[in-house]
Amino acid sequence: MATPEELARMEAGPQTPSEIIWFDRYSHANLQKWRRVQDPEADACTAEMAFTRPTGLLTEVERRAREEGGVFQAFLDHCYQVPEWVDFDMMELGIRMYRRHSVLQGLVLMCSSLVEGYAHNKPAQVLVSTGRLQKDVSRRIYETGQMLHNMVGPDGIRPGSVGHRTLMEVRLLHSAVRQFLARDPSRFDVEKYDLPINQEDMAGTVLEFDFMVVRGMKRLGVHITREQHEAMHYLWRYAGYVLGVREELLTTTLEEQQVLALQLTTHLYNPTRDSEALAKALLRDMSNKPPFHLPYEGLLALSRYLIGDTVADDLNINSTMPAAVAVQMIKGLTSTVSRVTPFLPDAVLRRMESLNFEIGRRTLSAGLGDNPANWGFKAMA
């Protein structure tokens, strides 16, 4: 949910020529139109495929592209066509930042981005309709962690890398979920919730991993420079493209991104009992699990601090006094470390990033199993 300051900015309306364009581009009326658009390239493929595990979807598309071409080759062409605005060297700093703060990023994503996202009732209904409301919760979170881990691997998300292929697998998985819901209209009320996993929902997912994660880390005392923030945003701009988000919804500046976030939140925010159930199932199932090993009460307190009292009250997320004190201790620790980090030699920072990357790999192995073939996605970076 937008902060009071952000809501006041929304009430004030656009203040610059650029903001006039952005407020119109992401108006509620225009965002509503995107709720009737999904992912034509991916959906054309999965409409002709039987659902398999995520590891099998891309393999099947590649096989049929070799044998048949057609929609399967068109999907691969779209994923491998690099837009003119992409510069992979410019993403390197963003990759390093996500590596450097990988554990904290995961904690913020879980306690803030995903929890707040569940208050957007329309997109959250996909989880309800697919039966993943209160089951397979931790596995779903570790699979998400696997995607993020692969994105910041040695080759980042350059075409052909493990990270790039994982994004393609996620894109096909989302499409397979659409096909699953479409085959039985009783599962998902399109008239009430619009098309499942539509373009607005997909753009919102990118914001959860980028805008909301950075906002949460800053709330916990992490100092992020504008240059670092821009690099993190740039990484997710291209990731969003590979995931199938239309370029009209991929913001080009931090200021434009904030306008989209504000417009999207005010358009979709509508917490329900399902929202509360999703949020609490997530935090309860991930309590005392690696890499955080925090009790349920601690995760509730951290979530309340990150999402703010208004959203927390709407989701009935409360904290005890000892847990709230612990959150302030975590903030103090991250703030102290953040003040020291800029003075460390680059070699030390790179070593720190490598260690965090390895910790992430071990955590995922513990959470998902030792055989990559049994994981959500085919390979690990």
pLDDT mean over 201-226: 96
Q: Which amino acid is at 49?
A: M
* Structural domain that includes position 351: 4-36+87-367
In a domain, 332, yes or no: yes
Judged against a pLDDT cut of 70, whether residue 169 lies above it is answered with yes
Cα 76 versus chain centre, distance: 22
**When comparing pLDDT for 75 and 13, which is higher?**
75
Q: What is the dihedral of CA 242, 200, 227, 329, to 10 degrees?
A: -110
- Confidence class for position 294, pLDDT limits 50, 70, 90: very high
In a domain, 60, yes or no: no
Model pTM score: 0.94
Q: Is 269 helix (H, G, I), strand (E, B) or coil?
A: strand
In a domain, 322, yes or no: yes
> Which tokens hold the place of 290?
């690696």
d(CA 299, CA 131): 24
d(CA 282, CA 113): 12
Mean pLDDT (the chain, rounded): 92
- Which residue, among 249, 252, 236, 75, has the nearest Cα to 171 in the 3D structure? 75
Domain count, the chain: 1
In a domain, 223, yes or no: yes
Judged against a pLDDT cut of 70, whether residue 372 lies above it is answered with no
Judged against a pLDDT cut of 80, whether residue 332 lies above it is answered with yes
d(CA 192, CA 198): 14
- Confidence class for position 9, pLDDT limits 50, 70, 90: confident
- Confidence class for position 367, pLDDT limits 50, 70, 90: confident
In a domain, 381, yes or no: no
Q: What is the dihedral of CA 32, 38, 40, 41, to 10 degrees?
A: 130
d(CA 120, CA 108): 18
Q: Could you tell me where the DSSP H helices lie in 183-308?
A: 190-193, 199-209, 211-219, 226-242, 254-268, 273-286, 296-307
Q: Which amino acid is at 258?
A: Q
In a domain, 52, yes or no: no
Contact 99, 353 (CB under 8 A): yes
In a domain, 380, yes or no: no
In a domain, 76, yes or no: no
d(CA 190, CA 181): 10
